[in-house]
Structure 1
Amino acid sequence: MRFLSECPWKRLQELRALIPNVPFQMLLRGANAVGYTNYPDNAVFKFCEVAKENGMDIFRVFDSLNYLPNMLLGMEAAGAAGGVVEAAISYTGDVSDPMRQKYSLDYYMNLADELVKAGTHILSIKDMAGLLKPEGSKLLVGTLRDRFPDVPIHVHTHDTAGAGVAAMLACAEAGADVVDVAVDSMAGMTSQPSMGAIVACTKGTKYDTGE
C-alpha cells in the first residue's frame, strides 16, 4: 500500500481465488499487528477480521521479546476473527548448553505453558536467527511433545548457520508435526532449509514424504 499504491487485500483475494484449498498463513506481531509500533487494540482486532474475510487462515502470533501480553492480544484478535491461532515462541540461546541460564529449557517451557493455557491451536518455535542445533532441537521439541502430546508443534528456522537441515530432521524425530522448508532454488542462508535435502534425507524412513 505504501510503496506500490495497491489495495492491501487485492493480492490476497486473487491468490485465494486461484488457490482455494491450501491454507494461507501470515505473521502477526501481537499488539503490533503487521507494523513496528503498538496499535490500538480495536485496530488489531479489525485487521484480523478483515484479513480472515479476505482469505487468511492461520495467524502465526509472535513477539520478538516473547512479551506475553502482546502475544495474548494478538491471539485473542486472531481467534475472534475465526482464524487458526499459531502462537510462536521466539528462540534464542542454546537450550542444550547448561551454561546458558537466561534462555533455558525452563524459560521456554514456562512460556509454552502460558500459550497453551491461553488456547493456542498450534504451538510454534520461531528460530528467526537460525540458532537451533540438532541437540537443542531434540531437547526442546522432545520436552514440548512430552508435555503437550495433543498440541501440534510447528518449527520455523532460517538456514543462516548452515545447520537447518540437520536441525529440522532432529525436530521431526523429536515429535514436531511440521517444519518449514523452501524450494531448493530459494533455500539456504537467510531463507529456510532446502526442501529437496529434507525429502532426500527422509526417503526410506518413517518420515518419508512420499515425494
Structure 2
Amino acid sequence: MARTPPDSLFPDLPPVPDYRFERHMSESGFSFIAGLDEAGRGPLAGPVVAAAVVLDPSAIPAGLNDSKALSRKSREALFEEIIASSAIGVASASAREIDATDIRKASLNAMRRALVALPVKAGYALVDGRDVPQDLPCASRALIKGDARCLSIAAASIVAKVVRDRIMTRAALIHPHYGFDSHMGYGSARHLAAIAEHGPCALHRMSFRPLRKD
C-alpha cells in the first residue's frame, strides 16, 4: 500500500461531487477512469466491502453524492441507476481477513480486488482517502474526501454501502440475536448488549475492541 501526498489538482471542496477529476484524466489520455471506495471500516461485525465504478459520461445518474450524505431510500434508488449505466466491480474482506491483517490493509486489498473485478480494464483509478492499494493494474491517485469531490468515487461509495447493507440484512436471518439489519454491525447499544448475552459469532471482528482481549 502506498501513501500519497495530499492532492493539489483540485483542492477546493465542491458543494457536490463533480466530474472534473475524470475529465482531467481523460484529457490526459486515460480511458475507463474508475472510482474506488469502501464501506464498513468501523463496525464490530461483518465484512468491509469495496466497489469500483466506471461511469458512462453520457449517462451519469443525477443526484450522485457521498453515500453518507444520502438517505437509505436515495442510496437504493441510485444504486439501481448506477448498475444499469456503469461498469462495476465489487469485492469484500471478511472479518477473518480483517483480524489476520488489519482494517486498513483489508480495505485496500478489497479495493484492489474490486478494481480487478471490473468488466472493463481500467486505465486510471481514483481512490478515496490517503492511500492507494499496492499492485493496482493501472495508474492511480488517492483523493482525500474523494467521495464528496469526485462523481466516480461517490458512485463507488453508494455501491459499496448498499451491497454491505444487504449482506448484513441477510446476516440477520442467520444470526438473529444481534440485530444486524438495524445497526449493520456497528457498536450500538443493542449490538453490545447482544454480544454480552450471546457472545460473538463468526461475523465478529475479534481484533476490534471491546471484543479484543489483551
TM normalised by structure 2 equals 0.25
Larger RCO: 1 or 2 (CA < 8 Å, sep 6+): 2
TM-score between the two structures when normalised by the length of structure 1: 0.25
